[in-house]
Amino acid sequence: MEMPRPVSATSDIVFKYLFGSQSSTNLLQSFLNAVLADSGDPLLTELEITNPINDKQYFDDKLTIIDVRAKSTEGVWVNVEIQVRSQTAFPERSLFYWAKTYGDQLDESQLYGKLKPVIGVNLVGFCLFPDEVSFHSVFQLTERHRPDLVLTRDCTLHYLELPKLKPAPDTELGQWLTALKTLGRPEEEPQMKVLLENNPNLTELAERYKKFDGSREARQAYEDRVKYLRDQANILYTAEVEGRAKGIAEGRVEGRVEGRVEGRVEGRVEGRVEGRVEGRVEGRVEGKREAQIQMVPLLREAGMSDVDILRITGLSLNDLDLE
């Protein structure tokens, strides 16, 4: 019997399960304090998850919100997200969600002075910054020529690049992230055992992961999420390939049209269009419109639709009927 494939703890649906329920509030606080301690920022004394999941509803419904939002007793808001697949505009995306959380604090009649800091914590499964930059980067609004001059401390964005982790982490944050990468991988069990011995907070993480991995409903939700992401990636890849093919085809067809028309207008043309149209054409000036009409069968043979033919040649529907 084929063994089920390991469940990745860095999958967004698993991450949400590990840290996004009311029962995992202490777990989330321990993880966030490891992030803040690593950057030398004040720790959170108490935390409330503002968009908690309900296990049954979580597995029955389609997963649409995969970030974890929380608020501390000090009034600090935290938005946590994990993104495994590379995204070219991820910094802009993370800034957008930070801005939304920041702006949603106020009603129309409230004062700006009531705004509380928002911390964005973004775990990424790809390298976002150059290799010489540490796996943990922290960004704030500072003056360009005076980095020590901060405009406001309400905006803080943390980026945790998982591929940059060292094999043997020497910080608590490194241990947390290594545990997330290690969970569910049999070949990494010895390292996971060492991590659990060195950091008791990770025991709850491992136990909650086992609960997910041992649930048939949870695993089905995980497989559905993997399939969804795979389908989305395939759709994007197919669209990209078809777009390239269409662009090449249109370029070749336009080259044929231009070659034929110029041959009739100018008399004699030698050239090669996209490596396929090659030779010499001689002709008389019989009118651009007549030449384009005669090209319609060639364009259709090349697979172009009538809509594209009209766009390229400038002909009308009546002209196509004359062909």
- 92-112, pLDDT tens digit by residue? 999 999 999 999 999 877 899
Amino acid 176: pLDDT: 96
Average pLDDT, the chain: 81
In 3D space, the residue among 128, 179, 201, 171 whose CA is nearest the CA of residue 38 turns out to be: 171
Amino acid 146: pLDDT: 96
Is residue 22 a contact partner of residue 49, using CB atoms and an 8 Å limit?
yes
CA dihedral for 314, 315, 320, 322, sign (positive or negative): negative
Is residue 11 a contact partner of residue 224, using CB atoms and an 8 Å limit?
no
- Which has more pLDDT, 134 or 55? 134
Buried b or exposed e, range 304-320, using 16+ CB within 10 angstroms: beeebbbebbebeeebb
CA dihedral for 37, 131, 18, 57, sign (positive or negative): positive
279: left (phi over 0), alpha (psi -120 to 50) or beta: left
1-5, 195-199, 214-218: which is most confident: 195-199
Amino acid 136: pLDDT: 97
pLDDT band per the 50, 70, 90 thresholds, residue 274:
very low
Is residue 20 a contact partner of residue 197, using CB atoms and an 8 Å limit?
no
Amino acid 61: pLDDT: 52
Q: Say whether 300 sits in a helix, a strand or coil.
A: helix
Radius of gyration of the chain (CA): 29
Q: CB burial class (10 A; 0-12, 13-18, 19+) of residue 274?
A: middle
Residues 180 and 64: their CA atoms lie apart, in Å, by 22
In 3D space, the residue among 252, 256, 261 whose CA is nearest the CA of residue 290 turns out to be: 261
Amino acid 297: pLDDT: 60
Least confident of 82-86, 118-122, 247-251, 275-279: 275-279
Per-residue pLDDT tens over the stretch 39-97: 999 999 999 999 887 765 565 555 545 688 899 988 999 999 998 888 788 999 999 99
Per-residue pLDDT tens over the stretch 204-225: 999 999 999 888 887 787 787 7
Determine the average pLDDT of the residues in 127-142: 96
In 3D space, the residue among 155, 148, 162 whose CA is nearest the CA of residue 10 turns out to be: 162
- Determine the angle formed by the axes of helices 189-198 and 172-182, rounding to 10 degrees: 150
Amino acid 269: pLDDT: 39
- Which has more pLDDT, 297 or 90? 90
Residue 101 per-residue DSSP state: H
Residues 21 and 56: their CA atoms lie apart, in Å, by 12
Predicted TM-score (pTM) of the model is 0.70
- In sequence order, which residues have a C-beta less than 8 Å from that of residue 33 and are 6 or more positions away? 43, 44
- In sequence order, which residues have a C-beta less than 8 Å from that of residue 138 and are 6 or more positions away? 39, 156, 157, 158, 159
Residues 123 and 300: their CA atoms lie apart, in Å, by 50
pLDDT tops 60 at residue 278: no
Q: What percent of the chain has pLDDT over 90?
A: 41
